[in-house]
Amino acid sequence: MRILLVEDDDDLSRQIRRALDDAGYTVDAAEDGEEGHFLGDTEPYDAVILDLGLPIMDGASVLKKWRSDGKVMPVLILTARDSWTDKVEGLDAGADDYLTKPFKMEELLARLRALIRRAAGQASAQLECGPVMLDTRSSRVTVDGSPIKLTAQEFKLLAYMMHHTGKVVSRTELTEHIYDQDFDRDSNTIEVFVNRIRKKLGVNILHTVRGLGYQLDMIEG
């Protein structure tokens, strides 16, 4: 799952990026509202963490422009402002959730997981497809209760597919959501990851849909 972080505090940005990376997310970061707006407008993200007090363009203005342009990715606002009027402004601008600084990183991650689940139509922190279970809180994957060891990229690909069970997902979409902006993307490696995941899971749930992409489902294929 690919996250956009728009935060001008260098220390806080590094802390959040480290936590997101450890949790298995792909992260792009921007230090001002103008860059953040551009990235959110031109790249696909599963969620955005957006500070309100940004240089060049404030967070509320960035969010209003995204929403007026039809961008629907879930947005979690971060801000040092804690008055109810600031919260109302952020939510009315189109935010899906609100977190006031200072905060615990565990709470930020929990709120982010919830936003991504809701956007994907998932209710539980434990995503299941047949005997395969992926726990978004611990980044743990099991098959019939037995743990499966995946590489970071394999986990990212499986997590994206588990959030979109039943949907046909193209190689391009997978590439856009498991690699960051600066990565030398090669959609051919997606097939390699898919084959590795199939072997490690040992169950027939990740199917190739010829000419279209891949589908995670308990169907014959």
Residue 194: the pLDDT is 95
Tens-binned pLDDT, residue by residue, of the chain (221 aa): 999 999 999 999 999 999 999 999 999 999 999 999 999 999 999 999 999 989 999 999 999 999 999 999 999 999 887 677 777 888 888 999 999 999 999 999 999 999 999 999 888 899 999 999 999 999 999 999 999 999 999 999 999 999 999 999 999 999 999 988 766 666 678 999 999 999 999 999 999 999 999 999 976 44
DSSP class of 102: S
**CATH architecture classification, 2-119:** 3-Layer(aba) Sandwich (3.40)
When computed from its CA atoms, the radius of gyration of the chain, rounded to whole angstroms, is 18
Scan for tokens 């995946």, then name that residue.
150
For the chain, give every residue range classified as CATH 1.10.10.10.
126-216
Whether 109 contacts 102, CB under 8 Å = no
Residue 157: the pLDDT is 96
CA distance 57 to 152: 34
Cβ-Cβ contacts under 8 Å for 133 (sequence gap 6 or more): 126, 127, 141, 142, 143
For the chain, give every residue range classified as CATH 3.40.50.2300.
2-119
Residue 90: the pLDDT is 82
Identity at 198, one-letter amino acid code: R
Instruction: State the sign of the Cα–Cα–Cα–Cα dihedral 176, 180, 185, 187.
Output: negative
Residue 215: the pLDDT is 96
**CATH architecture classification, 126-216:** Orthogonal Bundle (1.10)
CA distance 101 to 79: 6
